[in-house]
Structure 1
Amino acid sequence: MKRIGFWLAVCCHVLAVASVATASAANRIVLPEHPTPDQRADIEQRLNDWPLLARYAKDNAAYPPPKPGEKRVVFMGDSITDFWGRPIGEFFPGHGYINRGISGQTTPQMLVRFRADVIALKPEVVVILAGTNDIAGNTGASSLEMIEDNLASMTELARAHGIRVVLASLLPVNDDVVKDQTSRRPPATIRALNAWIREYAAREQLVFIDYYAAMVDAHGALRKELSDDGLHPNAAGYKVMAPLSQKAIDSAFDSGNR
């Protein structure tokens, strides 16, 4: 506990100084100099479990092995996956798909927990939607190459364990409600990453879901009726995404590629 307290104090001091020195930085992390007990607990949790392996640990331990003939699918992602709910059955009736999204996460965090939250569950297919929070700098600055490397590493881990991979494009964003969405997630950067995901999926013979094309308006922004905050899909948005996901999952099973 002394060690945690020491590093907590160091982190708070450094970040407090950095927040003043970089007051104009769009993606800075700002922590109070004297955190409340709740804030302190949150900081300690992040220091002790950065990838949030604890989030699904009990659920994973209790999850039964696949039944003979079961077409098990795991959805891996951030809040856009997380907010689909558990189970995802409302949007996929008749399918017991497993949701392993965690709000706010970036691809390096997902890569660390990929074995526990995907491979250990022994799915036939994994659907990966990730990268928007990397662009936003949620866990520090990330280049496109860093995001691409993490997506490729998750793909390689899955294929090494006989899991078929579905890669999804990032959604567009808009500034209609939250004004900083496009500054934190520049549309040009989203398009560049999506172009790489499409090309990588084609090169590696993976199934690709183009959520972006289905949800973008004529101005390159997320269609207003599909989101309440310009970032996350609302119910109408998920209704657009669900059939695209199901078609991709069906294609993955039909392809036979692992």
Structure 2
Amino acid sequence: MVKFEAGSGGGSNKSLLGMKFTRSTTPPAWALLSLATNGLLLVTVALLVMRDRMISHSAQASNSITATSFHEKMLGQVSGGIGQNQPVLGPRHKWTYEQWVAQLGREAEAVAVNRPERLTILAGDSLSMWFPPNLLPVDRSWLNQGISGETSAGLLKRLQIFDRVQPETIFLMIGINDLIRGIGEETILANHRQMIRDLRWVHPHSQIIVQSILPHGGDRASWEGRDRLLAIPNSYIRDLNRQLKEVANSENALYLDLYPLFADTNGNLRLELSTDGLHLNEQGYLVWRSALLVFSQLELDVNH
């Protein structure tokens, strides 16, 4: 399994390319292989990000027919008058949570009736919801099931929305809003475990990937709830991510640790990848996109 893991510091630990390892006189073969794989992975992601920055917006649009057209077509068919000529979110950012759930249910139902090839679900909170459709990998068809402000409990309850959908892959990213609301790690971990089990029961042939919680910008964040972010040390998020990885492993799900790709030398969210220290800008989504591409090639395609 591919592992992105950021080091948390310590006298006996060293870090290389954001990965933590401990001194050992005779490292086992699996450790050396893991180190080499992670190094290759991070270098590849960096190269992909550099390549993506050189692509113009027009080129991206012309090469993103599968992801963009599918997403916008679904919105045009089921959103009751919200057409392709409007922004993907448009005035809908004022919708209530219940309205968003109903909308995502309509989109999922439309996909269940006309299932596209290599259907992949992106489930989570605003970080997933705002993923630009034209930046999603074009070798898949994407169904975005993100809602702003979503918690792990909320996502667990609404997984049934896409019960009738037959996805090839399901990506989960959830938890930062739990932490902002003061919800404990035991609840977050238990909800992740139950989500994996529920998805495995309903979608036995789907690949399930738990994605790590991203860091926040720390004292340089400008998000309106900055004080609540500062109450959550990024070291705590790193520790929670390690536990999420253990949950994924124990439930036979895959784990994608994005944390080191977004963290600076202090473990905070790199501000050049963010709009406010919590949410991502286009460059941040390019990093995420590149990680999805590499992870798909190294983990999903070989195991599918």
TM-score, normalised with respect to structure 2: 0.61
1:97-154 Cα distance to aligned partner (Å, 9 max, x none): 111110100011101110113x3221011000000000011xxx42101111111111
CA distance in structure 2 between the aligned counterparts of 1:223 and 1:194, rounded to whole angstroms: 18
1:40-79 equivalence runs, <5 A:
49=98, 52-63=100-111, 64-67=113-116, 70-79=117-126
Displacement of 1:224 after TM fit? Answer: 1.4
CA distance 1:172–1:130, change in 2 (3 Å): same
Residue aligning to 1:215: 262
Aligned length: 203
SS at match of 2:121: strand
1:1-258 equivalence runs, <5 A:
49=98, 52-63=100-111, 64-67=113-116, 70-85=117-132, 88-117=133-162, 119-137=163-181, 141-160=182-201, 161-162=203-204, 163-174=206-217, 175-176=219-220, 177-178=222-223, 179-180=226-227, 182-250=229-297, 251-256=299-304
SS at match of 1:113: helix
CA distance in structure 1 between the aligned counterparts of 2:142 and 2:108, rounded to whole angstroms: 13
Amino acid at match of 1:66: R
Residue aligning to 1:17: none
Amino acid at match of 1:136: I
CA distance in structure 1 between the aligned counterparts of 2:102 and 2:289, rounded to whole angstroms: 28
Runs of 4+ more than 4 Å apart: none
Q: Is the 8 A contact 1:125 1:249 kept in 2?
A: no
CA distance in structure 2 between the aligned counterparts of 1:58 and 1:191, rounded to whole angstroms: 36
Q: Is the 8 A contact 2:108 2:143 kept in 1?
A: no
Q: Which deviates more, 182-191 or 230-239?
A: 182-191
Q: Is the 8 A contact 1:89 1:95 kept in 2?
A: no
CA distance 1:59–1:91, change in 2 (3 Å): closer
SS at match of 1:121: coil
TM-score, normalised with respect to structure 1: 0.71
Gaps of 5+ in 1: 1-40
Q: Tell me which of the two structures has the higher relative contact order, counting C-alpha pairs closer than 8 angstroms and 6 or more residues apart.
A: 2
Amino acid at match of 2:171: V
CA distance in structure 2 between the aligned counterparts of 1:130 and 1:142, rounded to whole angstroms: 12
Q: Is the 8 A contact 2:189 2:247 kept in 1?
A: no
Q: Is the 8 A contact 1:65 1:121 kept in 2?
A: no
Displacement of 1:253 after TM fit? Answer: 4.2
Q: Is the 8 A contact 1:165 1:252 kept in 2?
A: no
Displacement of 1:58 after TM fit? Answer: 2.1
SS at match of 2:291: helix
CA distance in structure 2 between the aligned counterparts of 1:145 and 1:253, rounded to whole angstroms: 33
Matched-pair identity in %: 27
Q: Is the 8 A contact 1:217 1:223 kept in 2?
A: yes
SS at match of 1:122: coil
CA distance in structure 1 between the aligned counterparts of 2:159 and 2:184, rounded to whole angstroms: 21
SS at match of 1:73: strand
CA distance in structure 1 between the aligned counterparts of 2:231 and 2:301, rounded to whole angstroms: 36
